[in-house]
A and B are shown apart, each in its own frame.
Chain A
Amino acid sequence: MAEIESESGLKIVDAFDLDPELRALLRPGELVEGIRGQYHHLPRYFYEIPSREAAREIRVTPHFGLNEFLLVDLKEAARVRAFPRYVPCAIRIAAFYLERLREATGAPVHLAVNGGYRSPAHKLSVAATPHMWGTAADVYKIGTVVLRDRASIETYNRVIEDLTDDLYVMPYGHEIGKADDHIHVDLGYVTVVPREISEDRLEGPQDKPRFAFEERRRGDRRGWPREPLPEVLPAAAHAGSTRSESQK
């Protein structure tokens, strides 16, 4: 069943190995100036998502699908929107924290269009927004609450701030740098060097393909049986939630 094994993994790419058009759009490793004059290096290592189906099927955490971080409109460069698509490896960490937020609120957390990863070529990518690192999320709805008033935004901002010091939330307001129709939450400029990557090179091509999200990998290492996990875990069933709840 070799083909199934390779299908379950997401390829990790060094963006320096991508074709010149994509490289020019993703600008790996480039310095970008932030709004306060500080500089940050753009991410270099990306997951390659081969198809729409893969984006829909792959779950980064129990309640967040990869596709939720890829939801963009025509403000994103057409090439970046076309499959195979690329998303910075730090997306996993963003998803981990969003999953904690979901636990804290007990309700599905909905990311807005253009609210996950935005490439540097995205029209909303002004200065060094953490969206370009895949470490930011714009949440427009939690459960059935649409976040477009001071009360709901400030309430959930407080929930997030109580959750961890790692997350930054944008204050409520109408000006640039504030939010009045969503919650912006980010982890700052986190870049991830996946353990599969060797850093003993600068910009030369890598010789071996590397894969992540191989669902069986950890289980195999531990000698677990090959049966897939049940769709609904006992604890989740008890809490009345399902694995696909954040999908609509």
Chain B
Amino acid sequence: MAKPQVEPPEEAAVRQSVAKAEQSLYASVLAIRDRHELERLGIAFYDAETTLQWSYNADAMFHAASTMKLAVLLAVFRQHTRGELALEEPVHVRNKFLSIHDRKPYMLDINRDTEGEVFERLGRTMSVEQLAYHMITSSSNFATNLLVDVVGVPVIQTALDELKIEGIKVLRGVEDQAAFEAGLNNEVTANGLLKLLRLVEEGKAYGEEASARMREILLDQRFKSGIPAGLPQAARVAHKSGNISTVHHDAGIVYLEGRKPYVLVILTQFPSETGARTAVADVSRDIYECLAGMNGG
């Protein structure tokens, strides 16, 4: 006869502390939602150190904004790993794209301020890798559309399907007005982006080499008003934000000294367009403080 299983006291303590953490997170997230008058909020979180997983409204679809660039990055490295695309391949930097909807040409509304180095290369070439870098680190729409053109929208979806990432739908490039009007839009869920970033963190997004290169690019992110704004200065974050008029998102891998990283996705939607928003940073801060509390810090 097997003896009845008795939980060791330390495991029971961990379980209790996790339950307490989850409850307090839930309360503070609701408070943030009310304080910022959010129309919608989606959060997904996974901590590799404690294996704690937590989510709020994580399967709700949001306008992807620039978080779709994570899926484009993934597709680029899929093609690279398969030997179908060398990262040093030259791409003509030309502001002319065909709508995915009616194949009619359109141009991006770009200038030196928004596009920086990619704009400077107009008329010349940049490598696939340079474009991937600018697509992520300065959120270049120009670089994104060039890469969507290089890999093709179907390949982006194939990459997501292959890695069993549900909850990310990429149907078109940026500023494709005809496709937008036809209802073809890019959408994400917090769980979808979490899955993608977990694979990148765990070296399972087309192998460790490709994953490592993607993490390097994501770590060079220049926009730090989202997740990093809720963290201590020393934290390093491999992330991609997505900001348009009424949505502010951020999805990233958080590296803190002396512990395994955690992956966090925060999607927010506002009823109307207003100025600077700190909801994403506030959620990020709460989660960090919650984890610090659990670690006895």
Please, which residues of chain B bring their CB within 8 A of the CB of A141? 123
Residue B95 at the A interface, CB < 8 A? yes
Q: Is the CB of B94 within 8 A of A113?
A: yes
Q: Is the CB of B105 within 8 A of A174?
A: yes
Q: Is the CB of A181 within 8 A of B95?
A: yes
> Which partner residue on chain B sits nearest A71 by CB separation?
B125
Please, which residues of chain B bring their CB within 8 A of the CB of A73? 89-92, 125
A73–B128 alpha-carbon span in the complex (Å) = 10
Please, which residues of chain B bring their CB within 8 A of the CB of A175? 105
CB distance from B115 to the nearest CB of A (A): 15
Residue A74 at the B interface, CB < 8 A? yes
Residue B96 at the A interface, CB < 8 A? yes
Please, which residues of chain B bring their CB within 8 A of the CB of A146? 122-123
- Give the total of B residues in contact with A, Cβ under 8 Å: 17
CB distance from A118 to the nearest CB of B (A): 12
> Which partner residue on chain B sits nearest A147 by CB separation?
B123
CB distance from A17 to the nearest CB of B (A): 29
Q: Is the CB of B123 within 8 A of A75?
A: no
Please, which residues of chain B bring their CB within 8 A of the CB of A174? 105
On whether A74 and B150 interact (CB within 8 A), knowing A113-B123, A113-B125, A174-B105, the answer reads yes
> Which partner residue on chain B sits nearest A111 by CB separation?
B123
Among residues 57 to 103 in chain B, which have CB atoms less than 8 Å away from a CB atom of chain A?
A: 85, 89-96
Residue A95 at the B interface, CB < 8 A? no
A115–B179 alpha-carbon span in the complex (Å) = 28
CB distance from B124 to the nearest CB of A (A): 7
A140–B89 alpha-carbon span in the complex (Å) = 22
Residue A114 at the B interface, CB < 8 A? yes
| Contact for A74 among B90, B96, B123, B124, CB less than 8 A | B90
CB distance from B226 to the nearest CB of A (A): 33
On whether A113 and B95 interact (CB within 8 A), knowing A140-B123, A174-B105, the answer reads no
On whether A114 and B92 interact (CB within 8 A), knowing A74-B150, A174-B105, the answer reads yes
Among residues 104 to 155 in chain A, which have CB atoms less than 8 Å away from a CB atom of chain B?
A: 110, 112-114, 140-141, 146
Please, which residues of chain A bring their CB within 8 A of the CB of B122? 146
A226–B96 alpha-carbon span in the complex (Å) = 49
CB distance from A85 to the nearest CB of B (A): 14
Please, which residues of chain A bring their CB within 8 A of the CB of B107? 181
Task: Select the residue from B92, B93, B95, B124 with max chain A CB neighbours within 10 A.
Answer: B92
Among residues 112 to 143 in chain B, which have CB atoms less than 8 Å away from a CB atom of chain A?
A: 122-125, 128
Task: Select the residue from B89, B94, B95 with max chain A CB neighbours within 10 A.
Answer: B94
Among residues 151 to 186 in chain A, which have CB atoms less than 8 Å away from a CB atom of chain B?
A: 174-176, 180-181
A114–B96 alpha-carbon span in the complex (Å) = 13
A72–B91 alpha-carbon span in the complex (Å) = 8
CB distance from A95 to the nearest CB of B (A): 20
Please, which residues of chain A bring their CB within 8 A of the CB of B125? 73, 113
CB distance from A158 to the nearest CB of B (A): 22
Q: Is the CB of B92 within 8 A of A113?
A: yes
Please, which residues of chain A bring their CB within 8 A of the CB of B150? 74
Q: Is the CB of B92 within 8 A of A181?
A: no
Q: Is the CB of A74 within 8 A of B94?
A: no
> Which partner residue on chain B sits nearest A174 by CB separation?
B105
A181–B107 alpha-carbon span in the complex (Å) = 10
A74–B76 alpha-carbon span in the complex (Å) = 14
> Which partner residue on chain A sits nearest B146 by CB separation?
A73
A74–B266 alpha-carbon span in the complex (Å) = 36
CB distance from A116 to the nearest CB of B (A): 12
Interface string of A200-225 (1 = CB under 8 A from B): 00000000000000000000000000
Among residues 56 to 98 in chain A, which have CB atoms less than 8 Å away from a CB atom of chain B?
A: 72-75
Task: Select the residue from A113, A141, A176 with max chain B CB neighbours within 10 A.
Answer: A113
CB distance from A178 to the nearest CB of B (A): 10
On whether A112 and B92 interact (CB within 8 A), knowing A73-B125, A141-B123, A174-B105, the answer reads yes
> Which partner residue on chain B sits nearest A74 by CB separation?
B89
Please, which residues of chain B bring their CB within 8 A of the CB of A113? 90, 92-94, 123-125
Q: Is the CB of A112 within 8 A of B89?
A: no
Q: Is the CB of A75 within 8 A of B95?
A: no
A114–B91 alpha-carbon span in the complex (Å) = 10
On whether A181 and B91 interact (CB within 8 A), knowing A74-B150, A146-B123, A174-B105, the answer reads no
Please, which residues of chain A bring their CB within 8 A of the CB of B95? 181
Other contacts beyond A73-B92, A74-B90, A112-B123: 10, CB < 8 A: A73-B89, A75-B92, A110-B123, A112-B94, A113-B94, A113-B123, A140-B123, A141-B123, A175-B105, A181-B96
Could you give 21 example pairs across A and B, Cβ below 8 Å?
A: A72-B90, A73-B90, A73-B92, A74-B85, A74-B89, A74-B90, A74-B128, A110-B123, A112-B92, A113-B90, A113-B93, A113-B94, A113-B123, A113-B125, A114-B92, A146-B123, A174-B105, A175-B105, A180-B96, A181-B94, A181-B95
